[in-house]
Amino acid sequence: MKYQECNKIVKQKAFERAIASDEMKRSVVDSLDIENMMIEDQYTGPKLEEGKVTMRFMKEMMECFKDQKKLHRKCAYQTEKITICGDTHGQFYDLINIFELNGLPSETNPYLFNGDFVDRGSFSLEVILTLFGFKLLLPDSFYLLRGNHETDNMNQMYGFEGEVKAKYTAQMFTLFSEVFQWLPLAQCINGKVLVMHGGLFSEDGVTLDDLKKIDRNRQPPDSGPMCDLLWSDPQPQNGRCVSKRGVSCQFGPDVTERFLDQNNLDYIVRSHEVKAEGYEVTHSGKCITVFSAPNYCDQMCNKGAYIHLSGSDLKPQFHQFTAVPHPNVKPMAYANSLMQMGMM
């Protein structure tokens, strides 16, 4: 009788799997609306502090369990997140605003900054020293990727070299140049999301193992995977074409699809381009651009944005913000005199 009962259950489960739709197979995370879950006034148990797990919370939670009490479902559902920021381009006061809006970096509030920390904005030194400071403080919770502006030729034209020499010495710029060459070119999150500053490649067949083998301790070449990671851009049409920048390529949704399939990834996150809303989702949701320098160069009137990735499926959540005031020092104040006459 037990066997027959068990066999009936097995067949029922098999039938349910057979008729399950794609919608039913989606992660349960998609059905949760954690932000709108209310914590009732009568609840006296432990609560997350600004959505973060702290040592105090953990101690209170263990005491709660010892007393055979229950943790509020909102706290039970909430998971750690990582915040991804795009270009900051020397806009120090907007960087500080990100931390005020989203919390300072910590072991429970990790960040990834996706390149182009310097140039254009005239507070690049303040930006990079702040970011390097957090990297030293939190080596396993604060991540920096190299952008196309962490290179000598861009720094010479767009202001960072001039700024460092004006505020300190030429020797210090040389040291920054050496450090920039050691920055990683890409980051893979939980084996599902690949983050890079520019984009995908001029040729098919590039694997994650190929990226690990790149000799990054140098100035980038004019072509090849290292160049593409720093310089390429997505385009709406399939295929590839010559980049409007004159470096690397533009890649279509079919290129993105093939790369993700080959490397068992869900989507890519990149930066490198100003977006009016601070972010843009293209290629059927598989290519996301994030840009974190609002009112870029005091001219573009764009919003800034950062992304939260959380949950088992790393579903992105977008957060927008606007520019804040800064001291009366114009963008490009330290740039090459030819560059001060116009912007690329």
**pLDDT band, very low/low/confident/very high, at 30 (cuts 50, 70, 90):** low
Q: pLDDT band at 343, cuts 50/70/90?
A: very low
| Mean pLDDT (whole number) for 318-344 | 85
Ramachandran angles phi, psi of 112, nearest 5° = -130, 120
d(CA 161, CA 172): 9
Ranges of beta strands (E only) in the chain are: 81-85, 111-113, 142-144, 186-189, 193-196, 233-234, 240-242, 249-251, 267-270, 279-282, 287-290, 304-310, 315-321
Return the structure tokens found at 64: 């709660």
Q: Dump pLDDT digits (tens) for 61-77.
A: 788 877 888 888 777 76
State the catalytic residue, choosing from 149, 197, 272, 326: 149
Describe the strand order of the beta sheet including 81-85 as a list of residue ranges.
Answer: 142-144, 111-113, 81-85, 304-310, 315-321
Taking the C-alpha atoms of residue 10 and residue 8, their distance in angstroms, rounded to an integer, is 5
Q: For 233-275, how does the pLDDT look when each residue is reduced to its tens digit (9 = 90+)?
A: 999 999 999 999 999 999 999 999 999 999 999 999 999 999 9
For the segment 137-168, what is each residue's pLDDT rounded down to a tens digit?
A: 999 999 999 999 999 999 999 999 999 999 99
178 or 343, which is more confident: 178
User: Does residue 215 register a pLDDT over 70?
Assistant: yes
Query: What are the tokens at 115?
Result: 């390149």
Helix (H) or strand (E) holding 135: helix 124-137
| Separation between Cα atoms, residue 297 and residue 122, nearest integer Å | 9
Give the Cβ contact number of residue 89 at 10 Å: 28
What is each CA distance from 295 to 66, 241, 275, 300, 312, in whole angstroms? 52, 29, 10, 5, 34
Query: Which single residue is written with the structure tokens 């499926």?
Result: 313
Look at the block and give the residue holding tokens 């991540």.
143
pTM over 0.85: no
Tokens in use for 22? Answer: 């794609």
> Is 149 a known active-site residue?
yes
For the cut 60, the answer to whether the pLDDT of residue 24 exceeds it is no
